[in-house]
Homo-oligomer: A and B are copies of this chain.
Amino acid sequence: MTKYVYSFKEGSADMKNLLGGKGSNLAEMTNIGLKVPPGYTVTTEACLEYLEEGDISQKIEKQMKENMEEIEEEMGQKFGDTEDPLLVSVRSGAAVSMPGMMDTILNLGLNDKTIKGLTERTDERFAYDSYRRFINMFGEVVRGIPHSKFEERMDKVKKKRGAEKDVDLDAEGMKEVTEKYKDLVGDIPSDPWKQLVEATKAVFASWDNERAIRYRDLNDLPHDMGTDVNVQVMVYGNTGKNSGSGVAFTRDPSTGENKIYGEFLRNAQGEDVVAGIRTPLDISDLRDIWPDVYEELKEVCGILEEKYKDMQDLEFTIEDGELFILQTRTGKRTPNAAVKIAHDMHEEGIISKEVALLRIDGDQVEKILHKRIDPEAETKKLTKGINASPGAASGKVVFDTDEADERGSNDEDIVLVRSETTPEDIHGLVASQGVLTSRGGMTSHAAVVARGMGKPCVAGAEEIEIKSKEGYFEIDGKRIDKDDIITIDGTTGDVILGEAPLIEPKFTGEFEKLLQWADDIRKMGVRANADTPEDTEKAVEFGAEGVGLCRTEHMFFEPQRLEAMQELIISDDSQERKKALDKLMPMQKKDFRELFEAIGGRPIIIRLLDPPLHEFAPTEEKRQRELADKLGMDEDEIKAKVEKLEEENPMLGHRGCRLGITFPEIYRMQVRAILEAASETKEDGCDVKPKIMVPIIGNVEELKNIKERVIEEVERNVFEERQRIDYEVGTMIEIPRAAVTADEIAEEAEFFSFGTNDLTQMGIGFSRDDAGTFIPNYIDQGIFDKDPFQVLDQKGIGQFIEMATERGRKTKDDLSVGICGEHGGEPSSVKFCHGAELDYVSCSPYRVPVARIAAAQVVIEEEMEVDEGVDGY
């Protein structure tokens, strides 16, 4: 018979899939002897069965009952007993935790009879506080009644009774709240067993609620795992001054520092801490209040780190001075903390270099390089909150989540300002540059979610008074209106008026070391896509071993150059065209000289002009008039020319090498600029390795044509007068036809570079500009797991990469093959490139460290025969 229910004594940490993250960890902690209130786990399998069948089978219920009986025996209490009732918590848990998204019911087992027993065993205020909490949570989780309805009633009672906070209410007050809640919710079963079954079903059902699905989508989590349900004996942090609840990280999740980090509330249940309703005390205060408990907690942290070999995030309750551990899980951390923890744990001898590297989530590495506010800059500091998620950001103040979502999605820079956030606010967070809250701490919802997204968050900025309805917030009488710009610095907690100047961060020593370990291990090269000397220097600083893609078209968009380019495009007069080219050539040459110096002898791949000419065309009437005057043409003629350049499908139009073939002057000018610059750089004693890359090749004849009619011709001219330098000629592989005829193309190319952006566009037939209208729907419906423009479509586009690499190397076994599409800095795609035996990946400078780490991880994973990275954060 299938076992659907496991006592905490039966499970272990490696049963995550069946028992969920929470359940398996509770079992593990129970078994290593930590003080965990007894309980059991209803498995994820039961959840999936429930979701399929629509009900919990008798078999499952029977096993739940058997386990409950064991607990009753252990505790010497009875579930539903009127004198000394056993009360339980019911919590969901999944293999990967989803903070705040799944639901919890505490104090289950209370009804109008058992409340009497509880009252007698404890005190009336506590008992009714517990009861009203139960009804509240049951009402929300099982009956779906909005939280605000409970709040309203609570507020009314508080007002009536002159209580400022919940804790100010006495027993009678709590009783009144309880009655009001009961009226609100209506039919709560009085049979505790029925309560439990209904609660279990509700938790199971919540797996498929919208917020959960949204969160999983956002975090690339699978939808078919289900959640477990943990039923656990209640312990109480709210029995009085000698009790409390808290959360602790074994290390600082923000910086990675090796010290217990966290916060707690006295006389409070755990939910109060997480919800961020009261601002909690720092964990260090625990030492002063309950030194023994603090020491015990420290010990527990050590045991857990030793066991899990990773930083843990735990929940604890102190009931009348006794410490209970309610949960542990691998703690979420900032990218910077992840680096420091991985580094330190290796230095402390807990994990190997390899495991340390696997502990770094590739997607997060990019965010290590958070910007911060220039400390030298003069700024108007408004206030300071808790530095809840590092990095700095500026944006317009918006209070409404939906508005933040809409405006943020339209590329406005928004800072979302809320008193606190809830899971309903996630879409607004996603679209904002950062979030500022007036309540809650480091572990509040806003903080946790922002850290997960790598966005800056300043939390609990208590000086702020938000008047969202009136459209402003106040700090010390100073009014900040909606749409005013503010800057928040989640590294320091500062809130600044206006747009503060931001500066680039430096690598930490720990990160440098990890990257060094990665460089020792990885087999692929890592280059950067860089178009300017500044980008190039940044890239080298971040560890790029060369430039894998220098896009020359960006060089034409500066006003003076754009003018010359327009003269070139528009004029029919070959004299005028020559003049325009003569203007452009020295500018291009200067660009290249600067680039060659910046890259300092490393290889640099320069791509010849790629976009269609209409991108440069003068569309403004004023400019058309100017050109008409200058070129002695008719304005209408110019208009007609501009119109003629427009295309139905510019992506598949007259661009790249197609321009080089029909209009070779521009490429000749570019090649001349490259070769002259290279030669002069060499004459100046600087090493230079230019590689000329021809884009949009679909047919070897195109490459032959460009080589013969452009490159070789220019070469002859240039090296007649200047020092000869070695250079290479290669091509982008970005047209599907190029991939299948790569054997032919390799005859003419010394290197290939996969332009996976275009290869994805043509290979899947998705225009990047247009596919936005249906890609989200495609991902929702599971047609693609991920946006193929962000994460390489390995099954489809990956085949073109493999095919082209194999065929190209068949012709030329030393063919250099790399990738320069945006996928070159996306971890799973980098790993795929390793598998496809590419020589290097090239990506934006900020992603170079990502690629270095990912390229090492894949080697380690191969060696460990591990298919997936270590999960848990």
Instruction: Identify the A interface with B (CB < 8 A).
Output: 647-654, 658, 661-662, 696, 698-699, 701-702, 705, 734-737, 740-741, 744, 758, 761-767, 769-771, 773-774, 777-778, 781-784, 793, 795-797, 799-800, 803
Contact = CB atoms under 8 A, between A and B. Distances in A.
A740 B650 contact: no
17 contacts: A648-B650, A649-B767, A651-B652, A651-B767, A652-B762, A653-B771, A654-B773, A654-B774, A661-B783, A698-B796, A699-B784, A699-B796, A702-B783, A705-B783, A740-B800, A741-B799, A762-B763
Contacts of A734: 765
Contact of A652 (B698, B701, B767, B796): B767
A778 B652 CA distance: 15
A662 B737 contact: no
Contacts of A771: 652-654
Contacts of A796: 698-699, 737, 740-741
Nearest to A741: B796
Given A696-B765, A765-B696, A796-B737, A770 B661 contact: no
Nearest to A795: B741
Contacts of A698: 764-766, 796
Given A737-B765, A741-B796, A774-B662, A782 B647 contact: no
Contact of A737 (B653, B735, B764): B764
A653 B767 contact: yes
A799 B744 CA distance: 13
A698 B761 CA distance: 12
A648 B769 CA distance: 6
Contacts of A661: 774, 777-778, 781, 783
A662 B800 CA distance: 28
Given A649-B649, A651-B651, 13 more contacts: A647-B769, A648-B767, A649-B650, A649-B769, A650-B770, A652-B761, A652-B771, A654-B770, A662-B773, A705-B783, A735-B765, A736-B763, A737-B765
A372 B351 CA distance: 88
A222 to B, nearest CB: 15
A774 B650 contact: no
Contacts of A773: 653-654, 662
A761 to B, nearest CB: 6
A501 B345 CA distance: 90
A658 B773 CA distance: 10
A409 to B, nearest CB: 14
A740 B777 CA distance: 24
Contacts of A650: 648-649, 767, 770
Contacts of A647: 767, 769-770
Given A696-B765, A698-B765, A770 B648 contact: yes
Contacts of A658: 774, 778
Given A764-B698, A767-B652, A740 B705 contact: no
Contact of A653 (B736, B740, B770, B800): B770
A770 B736 CA distance: 18
A611 to B, nearest CB: 13
Contacts of A737: 763-765, 793, 796-797
A713 to B, nearest CB: 15
A740 B654 CA distance: 26
A819 B650 CA distance: 27
A701 B652 CA distance: 26
Nearest to A701: B783
A416 B654 CA distance: 32
Contacts of A777: 661-662
A788 to B, nearest CB: 9
A572 to B, nearest CB: 16
Nearest to A737: B796
A520 to B, nearest CB: 36
- Nearest 3 pairs between A and B by C-beta? A652-B767, A649-B767, A648-B769
Contacts of A651: 648-649, 651-652, 765, 767
Contacts of A797: 737
Contacts of A774: 654, 658, 661-662
A61 to B, nearest CB: 33
A319 B158 CA distance: 129
Contacts of A781: 661, 701, 705
A848 to B, nearest CB: 29
Contacts of A793: 737
A758 to B, nearest CB: 8
A651 to B, nearest CB: 4
A214 to B, nearest CB: 18
B770 A652 contact: yes
Contacts of A649: 649-652, 761, 767, 769-770
A781 B660 CA distance: 13
Contacts of A784: 699, 701
Contact of A765 (B652, B662, B767): B652
Which of A650, A737, A796, A799 gathers the greatest number of chain B CB atoms within 10 Å?
A737
Nearest to A758: B765
Contacts of A800: 736, 740
A518 to B, nearest CB: 32
A783 B706 CA distance: 11
Nearest to A659: B774
Contacts of A769: 647-649
Nearest to A740: B799
A705 B647 CA distance: 33
A762 B773 CA distance: 20
Residue of A649, A763, A766 contacting most chain B CB atoms (<10 Å): A649
